[in-house]
Amino acid sequence: MSMMGQSISIGELARRADCKPETVRYYERIGLLRDATRTGGGQRRYGDDAVRRLTFIRHARDFGFSVESVRELLAMSDQPDMPCQEVDAIATHHLKKVESRLQRLSILREELQRMVTQCAGGKVESCRIIEVISDHQLCITEKSHGGAHDLG
Amino acid sequence: MSMMGQSISIGELARRADCKPETVRYYERIGLLRDATRTGGGQRRYGDDAVRRLTFIRHARDFGFSVESVRELLAMSDQPDMPCQEVDAIATHHLKKVESRLQRLSILREELQRMVTQCAGGKVESCRIIEVISDHQLCITEKSHGGAHDLG
DNA sequence: GTAAACCTTGTAGCAACTATAGCTTCAAGC
DNA sequence: GCTTGAAGCTATAGTTGCTACAAGGTTTAC
C-alpha cells in the first residue's frame, strides 16, 4: 500500500500510461478498469494499482491484442495461481494472425511495387496502375490480397 | 453497348464483383457508384459498365486503397487523357504505407515469438507473456509496436 | 477571490461496411 | 391468373476502439 492512497487525477493517470483521459473513461465504461473512487466534487482519483493496470492494458493493445483479449489476459493475470495455458493460447493465436497478415501484406507490397515500377508515366489511358486495378488477371497472385485494412 | 442494356439485379451484380448487395447500396449512397436505373417496382437494374466499375472498386479496396483513394482513382480513370502522375502518387503513397506497416508488424512478430517461446507453461504468476505485457522494459524495441490494428 | 487548468456527463463521429426489421416486388411454376 | 418463395426495398443501428465536442462543474495556485 502506498502512503498516498488514491491521489492521482485522471489526467495524471493518462499521462503516466501514455494515453488520454477519454480513453481511461472509455476503459472504465467497458469494464477494463474498475470504477474509480471520487472526490467530494465527483472527480476520479486513482492509486498506483490503476497505473499498473492501465499500463498493462495499453501495452497489450500496443501489441495488437483486441480489447476482448486484453479483458481475458487481465482476468488471468488477476489469478496468479492458475496455469497459464490460456494465456499462451491467446498469445499464440495472436501470433498466427500477425504472421498471416504479414504474409498477405508482403504479397501486396510486391504487387504494388510491380504496378508502380511498370507505370511509364504517360496518360491515364495506358497507366499500368489503373490497368492492374481494372483487371485482376494482371496480378501475380490468383487470390485476393486479403483486403489490407486501415493503411490510410 | 450491350444488347441487354440494364438487366442485372443488385444480387447478380454483387455476385459478379464478389461482394454483397448491402455493399453495393452502400457504395451508391457514398457516391462511388452512380444511382442505378430502377424497375417500375423500384428495384435497381445495372448494365455491364456497372460490373466493370464495381469490380474496379472491389479490387482497389482489396489492394488496401481507402475509399477516398478509390474515389480519386475512379475519377482519374474516367479521364483517360490526363497524365497519370496523380495515379502514381496515390499508389506510391500507398506502397509506402504498406512498407511501414510491414516493418512494424515484423517487429511485433518477433516480440510475440519471443514471448510465446519463453513461456514455460507454468503458472500465470511466472508467465513470461504476462510479464512482458506488464513491463515494457522486457521488450526488444524501445518504441511502441505501432498498435497493430484489426488483427482480431 | 478569481482565473486557469482541469474535470464531469452525454452524445456524436470516424472507416467501411454488416445486420436487422418490416415491408414490397419479381420470376417461375402450376 | 395465381401463388409462392427468393430477392429486393428503406431506414436504422451495430461493429471496433477510441476521439472530439458541448456545456457546464471543481480544484488549485496565486
pLDDT digits (tens, 9 = 90+) for B112-137: 999 999 998 889 999 999 999 999 88
Q: Answer with the one of A25, A48, A77 that is the final residue of a domain.
A: A77
Q: Express each pLDDT in B42-63 by its tens digit.
A: 999 999 999 999 999 999 999 9
In a domain, A114, yes or no: yes
- What does the alpha-carbon distance between residue B121 and residue A77 come to, in Å, rounded to a whole number? 14
Instruction: Tell me how close the Cα of A39 comes to any Cα of chain B, in angstroms.
Output: 29
Residues B60 and B69: beta-carbon distance below 8 Å: yes
Spanning CA of B123 to C1' of D3, the rounded length in angstroms is 66
Q: Please indicate, yes or no, if residue A149 is contained in any of the structural domains.
A: no
How high does pLDDT run on average in chain A? 92
pLDDT band at A144 (very low <50, low <70, confident <90, very high): confident
* C-alpha to C-alpha distance for B55 and B50, rounded to whole angstroms: 8
Last residue of a domain, one of B77, B96, B113: B77
Whether B105 and B126 share a structural domain: yes
Residue A28 counted as domain residue: yes
> According to the model, what pLDDT value does residue A1 have?
46
Q: Does residue A72 share a domain with residue A109?
A: no
For C14, nearest residue by CA–C1' is A150
Q: Which residues are CB-contacts of B129 (< 8 A; sequence separation ≥ 6)?
A: A84, A87, A88, A91, B115, B116, B119
The nucleotides of chain D lying under 7 Å from a protein CB are 7-10, 16-21, 25-27
Residues B16, B51, single domain; the answer is: yes
From the list B8, B72, B66, B3, the residue with the least C-alpha distance to B38 is B8
* Rounded CA–C1' distance between B119 and D7, in angstroms: 53
A17 and A54 in contact (C-beta within 8 Å)?
A: yes
Distance from CA of A40 to the nearest CA of B (A): 32
> pLDDT at residue B78 above 60?
yes
The whole-chain average pLDDT of chain B stands at 92
Report pLDDT digits (tens) over A53-91. Answer: 999 999 999 999 999 999 999 999 999 999 999 999 999
Q: Which of A55, A13, A56 is nearest to A36 (CA)?
A: A13
CATH number at residue B33: 1.10.1660.10
Q: Judge whether A22 lies within some domain.
A: yes
CB-based contact B116 A150, cutoff 8 Å: no
**Host domain of residue A102:** 85-138
Residues B93 and B133 in one domain: yes
Total count of domains within chain B = 2
pLDDT of residue B121: 87
Q: Give the end of a domain, one of A29, A55, A77.
A: A77
* Better-scored residue on pLDDT, B130 or A146: B130
Edge-first strand order for the sheet with A44-46 is: A8-9, A44-46, A37-38
* Residue pLDDT, tens place only, A84-104: 999 999 999 999 999 999 999
Q: Which has the closest alpha carbon to B97: A151, A96, A111, A67?
A: A151
Does B98 share its domain with B56?
A: no
Integer-rounded Cα Rg, in Å, for chain B is 23
In a domain, B58, yes or no: yes
pLDDT in tens, B61-77: 999 999 999 999 999 99
